[in-house]
């Protein structure tokens, strides 16, 4: 036993206090502490908090990238967009994420049904008033057989896809697609497209006015808090990808757990994001479910450490406890209770 512990044990502090007393205001100290903490919280939030960036909207997308908007809308109409081919919970056009015999999305089924042609194009255009030509184009499109509708959509989308591909490869884009510098309208030279050019022109005008944002948020709820449709529509285009690239959030670097810009995010996410950087997860279309299975297995193994032979015996095999309790052992005391 050390001299300090012997001295403390030998002193009796249970007797009455005979020294001087000083006034102590507990409420005053509490108010000062709360005030200082609140001031520090506000100051640190101003200096180090993440920026409050404005949200992306379809109106912004259609004004900044009109050709990209029309290209994405054409794919929504002919059913070739990523959302249209995704599968559950939006449609039955894909199996969703799966691994071996596990098909969780398919098992849970379509809980949020989305028909991209109707929900993203036809239904919003029906809300446009005083436009007989547009309503006539809608009627003509809906009266046609499904095969004809698909042929019209593909004929219109082909020159747009060639235009986008040329831009990605840094080549001269095709002259079949033109953007008006005065009106901001997009003209596409596509034969056999039927009423699709009129539909796309009307949808672009509706989007620029902000009406498409409102149409995709319409629901039976009093508060419009379901942003699924506008987010899916924008994710099929290039606006969100361009913004993510500017904020270094594409997931192509080890810092993908960061928030916007260079602001640090949740550090614990590296346990998950690590796997997206290595094969076979990096190139797999089912990376999400594979990563979750790996993390689930590792988490279960961590919980079961006290039950795993060999691993649970490591503290006895590696005598670190003797270093921590060295004074206890030097004094000849028994091993500390577990």
Q: Which residue has the tokens 């095709």?
A: 174
**Cα–Cα separations (whole angstroms), residue 131 to 188, 222, 333:** 21, 29, 94
For the stretch 166-196, pLDDT in tens is 888 888 877 788 888 777 888 888 888 899 9
Residue 263 confidence (pLDDT):
62
Indicate if the pLDDT at residue 332 is higher than 60: yes
Indicate if the pLDDT at residue 257 is higher than 80: no
For the stretch 10-45, pLDDT in tens is 566 677 777 788 888 899 999 999 999 999 999 988
* Residue 229: band (very low, low, confident or very high) from pLDDT cuts 50, 70, 90: very high
Residue 261 φ/ψ, nearest 5 degrees: 65, -135
By C-alpha distance, which of 312, 306, 280 is closest to 293?
A: 280
Residue 325 confidence (pLDDT):
74
Residue 41 confidence (pLDDT):
94
Indicate if the pLDDT at residue 121 is higher than 80: yes
Cβ proximity of 219 and 73 under 8 Å: no
- Residues 164 and 179: their CA atoms lie apart, in Å, by 13
Indicate if the pLDDT at residue 204 is higher than 60: yes
Indicate if the pLDDT at residue 197 is higher than 70: yes
pTM of the full structure: 0.75
Residue 34 confidence (pLDDT):
97
Residue 335 confidence (pLDDT):
57
By C-alpha distance, which of 161, 146, 158 is closest to 193?
A: 158
Token pair, residue 208, equals 């620029």
Class of residue 92 by CB neighbours under 10 A (exposed 0-12, middle 13-18, buried 19+): exposed
Average pLDDT in the chain: 84
Residue 32 confidence (pLDDT):
95
Q: If you ran DSSP here, which 8-state letter would residue 102 be given?
A: B
By C-alpha distance, which of 64, 121, 111 is closest to 90?
A: 111
- Residues 274 and 201: their CA atoms lie apart, in Å, by 44
Q: Which residue has the tokens 């184009």?
A: 137
User: In whole angstroms, what separates CA 22 from the centre of its chain?
Assistant: 58
Q: Which residue has the tokens 């050019």?
A: 197
Q: Which residue has the tokens 């006015």?
A: 209
Other beta carbons within 10 Å of 18: 5
Number of H helices, E strands in the chain: 18, 2
* Residue 82: band (very low, low, confident or very high) from pLDDT cuts 50, 70, 90: very high
Residue 21 confidence (pLDDT):
82
For the stretch 133-159, pLDDT in tens is 999 999 999 999 999 999 999 999 988
Mean pLDDT score, 296-300:
94
User: In whole angstroms, what separates CA 125 from the centre of its chain?
Assistant: 29
Helices (DSSP H) in the chain: which residue ranges? 3-10, 26-48, 58-64, 66-78, 104-108, 116-117, 123-126, 132-143, 146-168, 196-208, 211-217, 228-235, 239-246, 270-273, 287-303, 314-317, 320-324, 326-330
Percent of the chain past pLDDT 70, that is, above it, reads: 88
Indicate if the pLDDT at residue 338 is higher than 70: no
- Residues 36 and 247: their CA atoms lie apart, in Å, by 34
Indicate if the pLDDT at residue 223 is higher than 90: no
Residue 234 confidence (pLDDT):
94
Other beta carbons within 10 Å of 87: 19
More confidently predicted of 311 and 229: 229
Partners of 332 in the β-ladder: none
């Amino acid at each position: 036993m050390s001299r300090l512990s012997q001295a403390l044990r030998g002193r009796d502090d249970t007797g009455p206090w005979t020294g001087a007393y000083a006034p102590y205001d507990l409420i005053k100290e509490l108010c000062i502490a709360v005030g200082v903490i609140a001031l520090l919280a506000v100051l640190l939030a101003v200096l180090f908090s993440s920026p409050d960036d404005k949200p992306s909207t379809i109106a912004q997308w259609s004004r900044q990238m009109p050709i990209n908007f029309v290209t994405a809308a054409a794919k929504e109409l002919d059913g070739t967009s990523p959302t249209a081919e995704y599968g559950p919970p939006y449609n039955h056009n894909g199996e969703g994420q799966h691994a071996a015999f596990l098909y969780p999305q398919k098992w849970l089924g379509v809980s949020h049904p989305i028909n991209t042609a109707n929900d993203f194009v036809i239904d919003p255009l029906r809300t446009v008033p005083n436009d007989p030509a547009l309503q006539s184009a809608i009627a003509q499109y809906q009266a046609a057989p499904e095969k004809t509708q698909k042929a019209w959509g593909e004929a219109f989308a082909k020159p747009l896809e060639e235009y986008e591909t040329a831009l990605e490869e840094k080549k001269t884009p095709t002259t079949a697609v033109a953007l008006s510098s005065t009106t901001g309208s997009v003209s596409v030279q596509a034969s056999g497209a039927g009423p699709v050019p009129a539909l796309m022109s009307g949808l672009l005008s509706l989007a620029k006015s902000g009406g498409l944002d409102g149409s995709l948020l319409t629901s039976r709820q009093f508060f419009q808090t379901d942003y699924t449709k506008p987010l899916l529509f924008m994710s099929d285009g290039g606006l969100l990808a361009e913004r993510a690239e500017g904020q270094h959030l594409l997931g192509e670097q080890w810092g993908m757990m960061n928030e916007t810009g260079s602001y640090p995010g949740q550090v614990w996410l590296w346990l998950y994001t690590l796997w997206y950087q290595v094969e076979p997860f990096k190139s797999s279309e089912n990376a999400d479910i594979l990563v979750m299975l790996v993390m689930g297995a590792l988490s279960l193994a961590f919980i079961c450490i006290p039950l795993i032979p060999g691993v649970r015996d490591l503290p006895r095999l590696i005598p670190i406890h003797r270093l921590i309790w060295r004074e206890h052992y030097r004094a000849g005391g028994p091993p500390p209770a577990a």
